[in-house]
Amino acid sequence: MDDWQRLMKGVLRKPEEIARKFGLDVEEVRRIAKVFKIQITPYYAGLIKERGDAMWRQMVPDPAELKEDTGVADPLDEDADSPVPSIVHRYPDRCLFLVSHSCASFCRFCTRKRKVGDPSKIHPRYIEDGLEYIRRHTELRDVIISGGDPLMLSDRRLEAIVKAVRGIPHIEIIRIGTRVPCVLPQRVTEKLVAMLKKYHPLYVNVHFNHPDEITPESSRALNLLADAGIPLGNQTVLLKGVNDDPLVMRRLMQKLLAVRVRPYYIYQADYVSGTEHLRTTVEKGLEVMESLRGWTSGLAVPYYCIDAPGGGGKIPVLPKYLQSITDEQVVLRNYAGELFIYPQVKPKPKRRPRPATAPCYSFDGAPPTP
Ligand SMILES: *Cc1c(COP(=O)(O)O)cnc(C)c1O
Ligand code: SF4
């Protein structure tokens, strides 16, 4: 058994333990635990400084979770794009490959609350089917290994999966999505990164939501990964009372860069049952984005996306920098609110009238089917 597996044995998950540790009503915690899995690593619990702080809100169960049944368990309609249980294939050339039902800590705002921690939903026996699907679908060139958290698998099981994916000729890049460097950084070992670096080009996307999550321990884990030549990206979820504050978010993005992690996405929190108390407005998201662009390194500015309910995918949302656009000119607003005009190139004389609406072509350049 590795050290990190020993650490997982000490994870907080019994309602009695959770109630005692955080001063909650044990009956209430039991009721929540029946609906949404509860689990917190001792390391992450150690980052909580006071009741209701940013780390507390992400992991400690809240009675509000049971009062907020929106009836939406699968907000992104992932099940509809799931040809086999371990695959979500929504975009033309890439797919998610769900290989682990488990996470080190279960986030209260998780989009896949319906699946995480439930071995019947993401089961090892689905992995072979997933590999078979990826082998058959030669249009795929990018596989995102996700879950749950893939780093909850042993090195041996994870390697078997990564190696099998790497062995598929049409797969150009492999990505691993994980929250482990944030919630259980001890799991990132020399042995793990020595294994991963054999399967380049391999990217790792991590998940940090607050600057106080960047600690000496998580920095060590991220440095190990970066030293193995693994490009690191970060995905953040915009959460009320956690990071819905321009200064907090800016600090997070800057601290990520300092540990060689490039901010990739900020997501508007998904519309998922039991998470209303953690959602905030899109206006707040735009305000956060306005506070980044121009005011700090461009490298610190990720895309802000809403993952469209109903399976529309990630849609980027930008503050209104483009104020107007005509054949003559474009009116632009800069980060400080000043207006500028960019003259358009003079249009060539037209031979044919332009279609009223722009034609849309599918990814392979074929004309759309009506
Ligand atoms: C997020 C996501 C991806 C990856 O999207 P990128 O924009 O390429 O990072 C792929 N498939 C699904 C279903 C996703 O939700
Ligand atoms: S680590 Fe990711 S998959 Fe796991 S509970 Fe948190 S958000 Fe959900």
What does the pLDDT look like over 309-330, one tens digit per residue?
989 999 999 999 999 999 999 9
Coil/strand/helix, residue 154: coil
Judging by beta carbons within 10 Å of its beta carbon (0-12, 13-18, 19+), is residue 338 exposed, middle or buried? exposed
Nearest CA to ligand 2 atom 6: 107
Q: What separation in Å is there between the alpha carbon of 94 and the centre of ligand 1?
A: 7
Strands 261-268, 232-238: pairing kind: parallel
Q: Is 95 a catalytic residue?
A: no
Confirm if 182 and 222 have CB atoms less than 8 A apart.
no
The response to whether residue 96 sits with its C-beta less than 6 Å from ligand 2 reads no
Largest CA distance in the chain: 77
Q: What separation in Å is there between the alpha carbon of 100 and the centre of ligand 2?
A: 11
Cis geometry, peptide bond prior to residue 201 (ω within 30 degrees of 0): yes
Question: Is the model's pLDDT at 361 over the cut of 90?
Answer: no
Any idea what DSSP says for residue 186? Answer: G
Q: Convert 29-42 to b/e letters by CB count within 10 Å (16 or more is b).
A: beebbeebbbbbbe
Confirm if 108 and 275 have CB atoms less than 8 A apart.
yes
Residue 235 φ then ψ, to 5°:
-115, 130
- Ligand 1: residue of 78, 94, 268 to mutate (most ligand atoms within 8 A of CB) is 94
Q: Is 270 a catalytic residue?
A: yes
| Average pLDDT, rounded, for the chain | 93
Reading the block at residue 52, the tokens are 């209701």
Q: What is the pLDDT, as a whole number, of residue 370? A: 45
Report the chain's terminal Cα–Cα distance, integer Å: 57
Q: What is the mean pLDDT of residues 76-98?
A: 95
pTM above 0.85, yes or no: yes
Nearest CA to ligand 2 atom 3: 148
Nearest CA to ligand 1 atom 7: 314
Q: Is 203 a catalytic residue?
A: no
Q: Is 179 a catalytic residue?
A: no
Coil/strand/helix, residue 166: helix
Structural domains of the chain, ranges and CATH numbers in brackets: 3-67 (no CATH), 78-319 (3.20.20.70)
Confirm if 110 and 60 have CB atoms less than 8 A apart.
no
Q: What is the pLDDT of residues 203-258, one digit of tens each?
A: 999 999 999 999 999 999 999 999 999 999 999 999 999 999 999 999 999 999 99
The response to whether residue 103 sits with its C-beta less than 6 Å from ligand 2 reads yes
Q: What gap in Å lies between CA 49 and CA 215, rounded to an integer? A: 14
Closest CA to 61 of 79, 82, 35: 35
